[in-house]
Amino acid sequence: MSNAKYNNTSRRDFLKIAGATGAAASAFAIGGCAMGPSGTGPRVVVVGGGFGGATAARYVKKFGPDFRVTLIEPQTSYVTCPFSNAYLGGIVDLNTITHGYSGLSKIGVHVVHDMVTGLDGAAGTVTLSSGKVVEYDRLIVSPGIDFKWNMDGYDEAASMLVPHAYKAGSQTVLLKKQLEAMDDGGTVIIAPPGNPFRCPPGPYERASMIAFYLKNHKPRSKVLILDRKDKFSKQGAFTEGWKRRYGNMIEWVPAKDVGIISSVDAGARSISTEMDTHKADVLNFIPNQKAGKVAHAMGLTGGGDWCPVDQITFESSVVPGVHVIGDAAVIKGMPKSGNAANSQAKVCAWAVVQLLSGATEVEPAVTSNTCYSLVSDDYGIHVSVIWKGTAEGYKKTSGGVAPANMDDAFRKAEAGYAHGWYANISHDIWG
Amino acid sequence: MKKALLTTALGVAVLFTTPALAGSGGATPSAENLNGALLASGCVVCHGQGGDSQGHIPSIDGLNKFQMVNALMEFKSGARKGTIMPRIAPGYTDAQIEAIASEIAGN
């Protein structure tokens, strides 16, 4: 097992990121943060305040109450991707899916709103954009995703005209405004990313929620999904639900019939393939993905797109003492989902507390993922999996997708449970 | 430097044993993980902290250990119907179900 590398004195992993100079940084005081983390125990620093990071901070404190936990997150509030589609559908407001960090401060986590610019794995420090240097005994990084810009002619500037809305916040608001401005009878095109990507059912729940909005407000309109895959998550359950609630309003075209997307014209809101050009009234192009920017800046991807990790402790295969969780990490058998990140964070928090309390080995965990998607306001579908951890990845012990041909009462119950899941998991993470 | 830091950290660690760790049975790998705190941490995402659910999903904080084991074993065997629990319960061994119930309901 590749954990507990306390005696590793190698300097191979010594990393200095351009722009972060130790000498300059050490001259800075802890600006504006007189209070540190509560406790007198080992220092765990968590980078990223989303589903993975915020959960990790909370659960290190839960499993090791005397541990000193610092969470570093640039934003003062976090808008979740889960339920951002329900916002597009008009089912929840933005406030419902926005969370602050006071709940973590209350339990003694030191929350620092700053950006990590550098990692020194040998010294056990991270450097922040303010110049501050933070020491850790173990570091947990949950960087989320970044996009592979400039493929298909889609870049950050294009996303201001053609939103991806796959990091929730201003992009989600932009997409909703475009839907509201569209005339009845228009066509909304969604172009889901190729594998692997965050939240496999996400683009298809989005199609559902956009159709829900259109059915209520612009019923002559259409949703066209031009996919880069030939199958998708919960496909049978979505397809059944679409038929039952929206008739033929949603059309899904598999990659084999779409062809290879050659370009996106943001000004014209069109997508060109090797076969055709598709013109949209609202275009939602979701680019292909890789680990979040900070993971690359910290040297945790080992030159690849994602972060390789030990499958039991999620300790980085590249930099010892650093653990990577969530969408950015390669955790075999698990999807890149908010609930999976929450589960990984708990497993990781447990491992980190044990390792910093003298353990040399960590027991593989049994863990889970539950994901609800809304097809309509009264129609929910689940997928749930229980896994047993092994050194090679996560082996399913049970689970599955919501069964086919269930009655409306069953689907309505699951729509209610979707809201319940959101309320409870948000509370579990941000308080 | 790293070595020195960790020595300090471990030195501190010896001074406290968290309640959660006290029940972990050490770090020896075994065939099945019976860590109740970690196993039950998966339940709260739907059923709420301590089983106190906000919203539509049933709360489970009113169940005693016997009732909870019974419900989970019935979901596991298929005797009890549900939307999602019949998918989830079979993923756990009987001993893990016992550990989960102990964690949430107490002994």
Q: What is the pLDDT of residues B64-102, one digit of tens each?
A: 999 999 999 999 999 999 999 999 999 999 999 999 999
The domain ranges of chain B are 33-107
What are the respective helix, strand and coil percentages of chain B, to the nearest 5?
A: 60, 0, 40
Is ipTM over 0.85? yes
Domain assignment of residue A45, yes or no: yes
Q: Are A287 and A193 in contact (CB under 8 A)?
A: yes
What is the Cα A188 distance to its own chain's centre? 24
Q: Which residues contact A142 (CB under 8 A, 6 or more apart)?
A: A46, A47, A48, A50, A51, A52, A53, A56, A324, A325, A326, A328, A341, A345
Do residues A278 and A154 share a domain? yes
Residues 363-392 of A with CB under 8 A from B: 363-368, 370, 382, 384-389
One domain, residues A313 and A347: yes
| CA A36/CA A112 separation, integer angstroms | 10
Q: Check whether residue A256 and residue A357 sit in a common domain.
A: no
Total domains in the fold of chain A: 2
Evaluate whether B104 touches B68 at the Cβ level (below 8 Å): yes
- Specify whether A329 is located in the same domain as A271: no
Burial of B31 (0-12, 13-18, 19+ CB in 10 A): exposed
Residues A191, A232 share a domain = yes
Which among B21, B30, B55 has CB closest to A419?
A: B55
pLDDT at residue A152, as a whole number: 83
Residue A334 within any structural domain of the chain: yes
Cα–Cα dist A381/A414, whole Å:
6
Distance from A379 to chain B by nearest Cα, in Å? Answer: 13
In angstroms, the CA A314 to CA A417 distance is: 30
What is the reported pLDDT for A25?
34
In a domain, residue A340? The reply is yes
Q: How many angstroms separate the CA atoms of A422 and B45, rounded?
A: 8
Considering the domain architecture, whether residues A279 and A294 belong to the same structural domain is answered as no
Are A237 and A402 a contacting pair, CB within 8 Å?
yes
Q: Is residue A103 part of a domain?
A: yes
The one-letter amino acid code at A226 reads L
Asked whether residue A298 is assigned to any structural domain, the reply reads: yes
Tokens of B30: 């075994």
Interchain CB contacts (distance < 8 Å): A and B: 174
Interface test with A, best of B87, B94, B103 (most A CBs within 10 A): B87
Q: Which two tokens stand for residue A298?
A: 């910290």
Pair of tokens at residue B19: 């309640």
Q: Are residues A135 and A158 in the same domain?
A: no
Preferred mutation among B41, B60, B104 to probe A, highest tally of A CBs within 10 A:
B41
Average pLDDT in chain B: 79
A347 Cβ contact partners less than 8 Å away, ≥ 6 residues apart: A314, A365, A367, A389, B38
Tell the residue number behind the tokens 């593989």, with chain if given: A364
Selection from B49, B58, B41 nearest residue B100 by Cα: B41
In the block, which residue shows the tokens 């003492």? A321
Is A380 among the domain residues?
Answer: no
pLDDT in tens, chain A (431 residues): 333 333 332 323 333 332 333 333 333 333 334 478 999 999 999 999 999 999 999 999 999 999 999 999 999 999 999 999 999 999 999 999 999 999 999 999 999 999 999 999 999 999 999 999 999 999 999 999 999 998 888 999 999 999 999 999 999 999 999 999 999 999 999 999 999 999 999 999 999 999 999 999 999 999 999 999 999 999 999 999 999 999 999 999 999 999 999 999 999 999 999 889 999 999 999 999 999 999 999 999 999 999 999 999 999 999 999 999 999 999 999 999 999 999 999 999 999 999 999 999 999 999 999 999 999 999 999 999 999 999 999 999 999 999 999 999 999 999 999 999 999 999 999 99
Cβ-based contacts of A424 with chain B (< 8 Å): 44-49, 53-55, 57
| CA–CA separation, A397 and A333 (whole Å) | 12
The CATH code that applies to domain B33-107 is 1.10.760.10
Structure tokens at B96: 């893990």
> Residue A35: its pLDDT value, please?
72
Q: What is the CATH number of the domain that holds A140?
A: 3.50.50.60
A295 and A199 fall within a common domain? no
Q: Are residues A101 and A35 in the same domain?
A: yes
Query: Domain ends where: A236, A254, A287?
Result: A287
Residue at A372 is within a domain: no
Residues of A in contact with B35 (CB under 8 A): 350, 363, 365
Chain A residues whose beta carbon lies within 8 Å of the beta carbon of residue B90: 397-398
* Domain of A169, in residue numbers: 149-287
pLDDT score recorded for residue B4 = 38
Residue A396 in domain: no
Whose structure tokens read 């075994």?
B30
> Are A33 and A102 part of one and the same domain?
yes
% of chain B surpassing 90 pLDDT: 66
Residue B60 CA to residue B68 CA, distance in Å, equals 8
Residues A127 and A201 in one domain: no
Residue A38: CB partners within 8 Å, gap ≥ 6? A68, A108, A110
A163 and A142: one domain?
no
Task: For residues B106 and B37, give the distance between their C-alpha atoms in angstroms, rounded to a whole number.
Answer: 11
Beta strands in A292-425 (DSSP E): 307-308, 322-324, 329-330, 366-376, 379-390, 393-401
Return the ∠ at Cα A360 (arms to A354 and A361), rounded to 5°.
Answer: 80
Bridge partners of residue A366, in order along the sequence = A388
Measured CA to CA in angstroms, residue A231 lies from A324, A332, A371 at distances of 29, 20, 18
- Predicted confidence band of residue B31 (pLDDT cuts 50, 70, 90): low
Q: Which two tokens stand for residue A43?
A: 């220092």
Q: Which residue of B has its CA nearest to A321?
A: B2
